[in-house]
Every structure is written in C-alpha cells, then in structure tokens.
Amino acid sequence: MAAVGAGTSAIVVGASIAGMLTARALADRVDDVLVLERERLTDAADEPPHPRGHVPQGRHLHLLLAAGLDQLCAWFPGIDAELEAAGAVRVDGTRAWFFQQGAYRARGDWGTVLMSMTRPLLEQTVRRRLADVPNVRIEDGVRVDRVHRQGRRVAGVEVAAGSGVEVRPADLVADCSGRSSRIAHDLESSGVLAPPVSLVSIDCAYASCLLARGPDDLDGGFLVCGPTPPRSYRIGAVLPVEGDRWMVTLAGVHGDPPPTDDEGFRAFTRTLLSPGVAQVVERCERVSPVAHYRFPASRRRHYEKVPDLLPGLVVVGDAACSFDPVYGQGMACAALQAASLGELLRTLPPGSPELPRRFHRRAAKILDAPWSIAVGADFLHPLTQGPKAPGTDLVNRYVLRVLLASHTDVAVARRFNRVLQLVEPPSALMRPSTVARVLRAARRSPVRTGRALVHPRVGPVAGPTDRSADPRG
C-alpha cells in the first residue's frame, strides 16, 4: 500500500460494489476511510451470501466485465481464485452461445474471461477482503440523510441518530449510495448542486430465478439470447453461478414485462429466438422463487458540466450514472471511476477544491463509452424517448453489421467483445481494417446466406426434488 496523507479522512456513503471499490481506492491515499451503510450486514463465517434489501437488482443476473475484474484483482490480489473456490464460474468465448441479430456469435477466443456469480457472493467476498484493509472501517445500520456543509465546502455527512442528527466530519465524501441517492436529491431540491440530467426511458422489466445445473447442460457453457430488432426485443440469459446453479434472467422493454408465475415465465422463454433458454427452463429444476425488477430509465447526472462543484464531494457509480442493467456495465464502470479517483489523489489532497472538477471530467470520459453503447442500443426500439446523441442511428446501423459479421468471424467477435467489456473504446470498431473486415464478414452471416443454425445441447434434468424455497435464492 502506498503512503497516505497526514491525518486525512474520507467517508464513503454506501457499501455497494461502487462504495467498497471506492473505499479501496481511497485507502491508498487517505489515512482513515469510513464506509457508512444503511442496512445491517451479516458476514458471519457460516452465513451464506444473500441479497441486500435495498438492492432490488441483487437477485438478478450480474457479470463482472473484464475491465472490472482486472481492477478488482489489482486491489485484492487472488480474489478471482477466492471467488472461484466459492463457486463462481469463469466463462469465455469458447463456451459461449450468444444469439443476437438472428444467429449465434462465432465461438472462440474472445480475448477476455468473465467471472459469473450471484451479486451477493461478490459483495460478501469483496466486503470481507475490504475488512482486512487496516485504514478502512465499515459501519452498518447508519442512514446518511445529507452532506454537512460549511459554506460551499462539504465537511462531512449528517446521519440519523435517534430523534436527532449526528455530524460525521471528513475531508472528502464519496456518494456511492446508488440511483436513489438521498444526498443527490437533497442537493438538487435545495438548488445547491443541480447538474443537468439525461434521462432515456426504456421501461425494462426483469424476471429471474435459479435452476439446478448439470455438468453437461449447454455443453458446459452459457447462453444469452439478445434482441433482434425489429423482429424481437425480448432478452433471455442462462449463466452458471455458484452452488451448481443456473441464473436465468428474462427481460422485456416498453410494457412487455416477463411474467413471474411458472407458466407465464416458461411461455415467455418459448418466444425467444434461441430455443436454448426455454429448453433449460423446461428441463432443469427451479430452486428459487422468481424475482422481479423494473428499471424505468437510464439516468446520467452530468456533474462534469457544473462549473462550481462542491469541494469535498464526489459522486461515483449509479448515483452519478445508472444504465440499463441488461448490458452489465455498472460494476465495471464503478471500478474504473474509483481507480481514476485514486490516481487523482496521488497529486491532490482529498479536500482540494480542484478534486471534484477534475474527477468528474475524468469520470465523464469513462462513462461516455458505456453510455453510448447502452443508450444507443436502446434507441433501436421506436418507443425509447430521451436525448439522442447526433449520429446514433448511423452508429446503430453499423453495429448491426458488426453483429452480422460476428456470426462467422471470430476476430470481429473478439474486437466487439473487448469493446463491450470496456477493455477497448468503441472507436476500435471504426479502424479501417476492422470496418473492411466487418463489411466482408457480414455477407457470410447465416442471416444473409440462409445456412441452418446449430443450437446448444441441453443436458438431462438436474436435481430430483423441489427446492424452490432454497434460502440461497
């Protein structure tokens, strides 16, 4: 660990993935880092991981993209092996069945490896590793209502204490409290800090459950059935998680929610363009209830456009920008933002008036790529509303050709995957050599040639008994 400052302190609001990774980044540059979490956290040695109550998406599919996994391993060496020992599954392009725009992406070396697990397992593992960092403390059951200001400077936070309020001082406050941030709402409603907001409505609804997983299901790989506009906007995914289970997530947009009852859930899977999801759901035993989550709109608070930010306050993760979760970019994005904050603190003290401005300008550059990927794709649906960047339709037409090319060309699939994993910028797809390859390979797609598709093989029924009340769900 690098040398830290002299008597400096920071408060991180929220023990989310964004909050914990921000705390880890701050720990290298700040003497005392305090994480305040409003929920009660249970991390007893014999306590299985379970979703936090204020994280409704915690029961749904989560992937740690390559950029986020690399950063996580840099902060917590060996955590990937620890997660794998706990049951997390490494997945790569050689075992992938990724159906989009009418056919499966070419399988092979996609240049990155993903870690698939439930979000509760990831959170619990990171939380336990963070507890070993000597200058980081986590306090649970503490509700932060607002920041504490001295003039324009943020000097700490105000927390609920019985019938009153307690002030917790700090040189720097990092708001990582998520999309429903009380801090952001209080500052905006009072007119103290009201950044411009981009809101793009998608009205995406999710339904997820866990199934027993057999070793031969899907040839030991995973399956994602993405949208194929305008033919279908429905989504289904089957990924392996700890406990020899599948996590199955279905999604629909703009008033097309997947049902949560058994028959409705199964019927929805049968409408997907890849039959594999329905076959897995039909053949593998369900071991958890079906959970539901609704995501109304992608929202981005443009702090980088505010000329007079509050010294002592930065905003990280969903509190600043929340994407449509179907793209799985949130955790990796938060990791990159936290790393950028840590880099700035090499030369700036935590209380520097320059820190918020410089951080949010850097964060904006990190957010631009995933925002353009997620929001740009959302505009393929005619009912999506909100500010659309110039050139979005042109970019979408080219991306559709990239998808067609990726059906037969592993090199295109690899480049596209690395962009989606936030390892390379979207501009990598626009290199002349890549454009030429895309245009040639797109003509060979089964969609264009009419060649029959080979679908994944689904193994025998996994599990002899009904375990739908399994507490791990």
Task: For the beta carbon of residue 453, count every other beta carbon within 10 angstroms.
Answer: 14
pLDDT > 60? residue 470: no
Residues 352 and 439 grouped into a single domain: no
Contact 468, 233 (CB under 8 A): no
Q: Which helix (H) or strand (E) holds 264?
A: helix 262-270
Residues 310-361: pLDDT tens digits? 999 999 999 999 988 777 888 999 999 999 999 999 999 999 999 999 999 9
Q: Which helix (H) or strand (E) holds 130?
A: helix 119-130
What is the C-alpha R_g of the chain? Answer: 22
Residues 150-171: pLDDT tens digits? 999 999 999 988 888 999 999 9
Domain count, the chain: 2
Q: Is 268 helix (H, G, I), strand (E, B) or coil?
A: helix
Residues 424 and 352 grouped into a single domain: no
At residue 373, the pLDDT reads: 85
pLDDT > 60? residue 2: no
Contact 323, 298 (CB under 8 A): yes
Residue 308 located in a structural domain? yes
Residues 323 and 372 grouped into a single domain: yes
At residue 259, the pLDDT reads: 96
Between CA 272 and CA 11 the distance in angstroms is 45
Give residue 420's domain range. Answer: 392-449
Please state the rounded mean pLDDT for residues 416-425.
92
Question: Hey, CA dihedral for 413, 418, 419, 421, is it positive or negative?
Answer: positive
pLDDT > 50? residue 463: no
In DSSP notation, 299-355 reads EEE-GGG-SSPPTTEEE-GGGTEE--GGG--HHHHHHHHHHHHHHHTTTS-TT-THH
Please state the rounded mean pLDDT for residues 67-87.
95
Q: pLDDT confidence of 43, banded at 50, 70, 90?
A: low
Residues 305 and 343 grouped into a single domain: yes
Tokens 């933002």 belong to 337
**Which amino acid, residue 106?**
A
DSSP count for the chain of H helices, then E strands: 13, 19
Residue 130 located in a structural domain? yes
pLDDT > 60? residue 92: yes
At residue 53, the pLDDT reads: 60
CA 223 → CA 61, 277, 346, 428, distances in Å? 12, 7, 42, 26
Residues 351 and 414 grouped into a single domain: no
Tokens 């749904």 belong to 60
Between CA 62 and CA 237 the distance in angstroms is 11
Percent of the chain with pLDDT over 90: 77
Residues 306 and 371 grouped into a single domain: yes
CATH of the domain at 160: 3.50.50.60
Residue 177 located in a structural domain? yes
pLDDT > 80? residue 404: yes
Residues 443 and 406 grouped into a single domain: yes
pLDDT > 90? residue 467: no
The number of angstroms, rounded, from the C-alpha of 335 to the middle of its chain's C-alpha atoms is 10
Residues 401 and 429 grouped into a single domain: yes
At residue 1, the pLDDT reads: 39
Residues 398 and 309 grouped into a single domain: no
Between CA 349 and CA 30 the distance in angstroms is 9
Between CA 52 and CA 39 the distance in angstroms is 7
Which of 354, 378, 402 terminates a domain? The answer is 378
Contact 381, 233 (CB under 8 A): yes
Q: Which helix (H) or strand (E) holds 245?
A: strand 245-253
In DSSP notation, 346-377 reads TTS-TT-THHHHHHHHHHHHHHHHHHHHHHHH
Beginning with the edge strand found earlier in the chain, give each strand of the sheet holding 9-13 in spatial order. 136-140, 32-37, 9-13, 172-175, 313-315
Residues 18 and 139 grouped into a single domain: yes
Task: For the beta carbon of residue 446, count every other beta carbon within 10 angstroms.
Answer: 16
Contact 350, 10 (CB under 8 A): yes
Tokens 């990924």 belong to 239
* DSSP code for 87: T
Tokens 């390559």 belong to 66
Q: pLDDT confidence of 9, banded at 50, 70, 90?
A: very high
Average of per-residue pLDDT values in the chain: 90
Residue 351 located in a structural domain? yes
At residue 216, the pLDDT reads: 80
Q: Which helix (H) or strand (E) holds 239?
A: strand 235-241
Residues 271-316: pLDDT tens digits? 999 999 999 999 999 999 999 999 999 999 999 999 999 999 999 9
What's the whole-model pTM score?
A: 0.91
Q: Which helix (H) or strand (E) holds 155?
A: strand 153-161
Residue 31 located in a structural domain? yes
Question: At 382, phi and psi to the nearest 5?
Answer: -65, -20
Q: Is 383 helix (H, G, I), strand (E, B) or coil?
A: coil
Contact 250, 61 (CB under 8 A): no
Task: Output the furthest CA–CA distance in the chain (Å, rounded).
Answer: 70
Percent of the chain with pLDDT over 70: 92
Q: pLDDT confidence of 6, banded at 50, 70, 90?
A: low
Between CA 341 and CA 348 the distance in angstroms is 10
Residues 358-377: pLDDT tens digits? 999 999 999 998 898 888 88
Between CA 292 and CA 209 the distance in angstroms is 9
Residues 25 and 140 grouped into a single domain: yes
Decide: residue 463, CB within 10 A, 0-12 exposed, 13-18 middle, 19+ buried.
middle
* DSSP code for 220: G
Residues 50 and 125 grouped into a single domain: yes
